[in-house]
Amino acid sequence: MTRRELLQLGGLAIPALALPFPSTAFTKINLMKDNNSFDVIIIGGSYAGLSSAMALGRALRKVLIIDSGLPCNRQTPHSHNFITQDGEKPMAIAEKAKKQVLKYDTVKFQTDLVINGKKTETGFEIFTQSGKVFSAKKLVFATGVKDIMPDIKGFSQCWGISVIHCPYCHGYEVKNEKTGILANGNIAFHYAQLIRNWTKDLTIFTNGKSELTQEQTDKIKKHNIPIIEKEISSLKHINGVLQEIIFKDNSTFGLKAIYSRPAFEQHCKIPELLGCELTEQGLIKVDNFQKTTVENIFACGDNTSPFRAVSYAVSTGNIAGAVLNNAMTEEEF
């Protein structure tokens, strides 16, 4: 059989004389396949995902990071409580991290949205919104969580700026200021205990009937913390900087900051589709090495823990990357 006939059998209607010997047609097909095949695909390219990629890149692993470019802290003006980066803009930290990670030749970055995934005989296939398909032996989900904003006008615009969730991240910047807690029940009680360390000018807003126990209420009042049960209509603000709460009865209450912990859901549903278990809180269940309940799938960052901080995301990402590489070295030896 001639080379022309071989090429025609392969579905390549290319004159044999136009190709150097040996033919590059089949080589190109293999290269295309190789370019879409990786040791590890990391879904989510913020702090946890980039940290995981750095550990794997330094271990010479072929890695693809896929990220849609919408981190949950994109409104937050400054990041705190992360040593060497205290006060830096979150986007600046991420951009610097991405630049450092992509210096490792085996790490690639794809700006895209993952929309599906499936198990295969050799690992996993990942499908993106742009129509691309990638394969990998192992997966890391560093996809974070999606906050569900309450039905209060102005809340989402203030979120991460003057409506904040973590005193360790933001408490110092609003210390001794007139501060609110928008929460109810056990969450409100815990916040009252914690935030009183940063300011004594504190008020709890339950946005409806209080669900605090009598014992909790007595302890709160003992520390002169008012509890206001009126329903909230909106938050008056200027570019996300809080001015006052406006209640449904049109009364107002001036504040500099509000602590709140809105409900959340997994930003990415694919781990569940692949069989990963969630905790009662709706977080991806992982062990101390960031392994999920599905073999060869890891998760790290905000989607695995209520401790939402850049430092924690970086730490868990690094652990996931190191453990993944160790697993691969054991499999290959």
pLDDT value, residue 74? 74
**Could you tell me whether strands 241-247 and 252-254 are parallel, antiparallel, or unpaired per DSSP bridges?**
antiparallel
Closest among 188, 193, 185 to 213, alpha carbons compared:
185
* pTM of the shown model: 0.86
Question: The sheet that has 241-247: what strands, in order across it?
Answer: 232-238, 241-247, 252-254
Task: Read off the pLDDT of each residue in 57-74 and give the average, rounded to a whole number.
Answer: 90
- Per cent of the chain over pLDDT 70 is 90
78-129 pLDDT, tens digit each? 888 888 988 899 889 999 999 999 999 999 999 999 999 999 999 999 999 9
Checking if the pLDDT of 202 tops 90, the result is yes
Are 140 and 45 spatial neighbours (Cβ–Cβ below 8 Å)?
no
15-35 pLDDT, tens digit each? 333 334 344 444 444 444 567
- Ranges of beta strands (E only) in the chain are 37-43, 63-67, 107-111, 114-119, 124-128, 133-141, 145-148, 163-164, 179-182, 202-205, 227-228, 232-238, 241-247, 252-254, 257-260, 263-266, 297-299
Sign of CA dihedral 71, 75, 78, 81: negative
Closest among 228, 227, 265, 233 to 248, alpha carbons compared:
233
d(CA 7, CA 278): 50
Checking if the pLDDT of 73 tops 60, the result is yes
pLDDT value, residue 33? 53
Query: What is the overall mean pLDDT for the chain?
Result: 90
273-305 pLDDT, tens digit each? 999 999 999 999 999 999 999 999 999 999 999
pLDDT value, residue 197? 94
Q: Could you tell me the domains of the chain?
A: 36-146+264-332 (3.50.50.60), 150-261 (3.50.50.60)
Give the range among 3-12, 182-191, 200-209, 226-235 with minimum mean pLDDT.
Answer: 3-12
Structure-block tokens of residue 307: 């401790």
Single-letter amino acid, residue 201: D
- Write down the residue that tokens 């406006």 correspond to: 246
pLDDT value, residue 328? 97
Checking if the pLDDT of 322 tops 90, the result is yes
d(CA 266, CA 130): 22
Helix or strand run (H / E) with residue 17 = none
d(CA 224, CA 98): 47
pLDDT value, residue 329? 97
Checking if the pLDDT of 263 tops 70, the result is yes
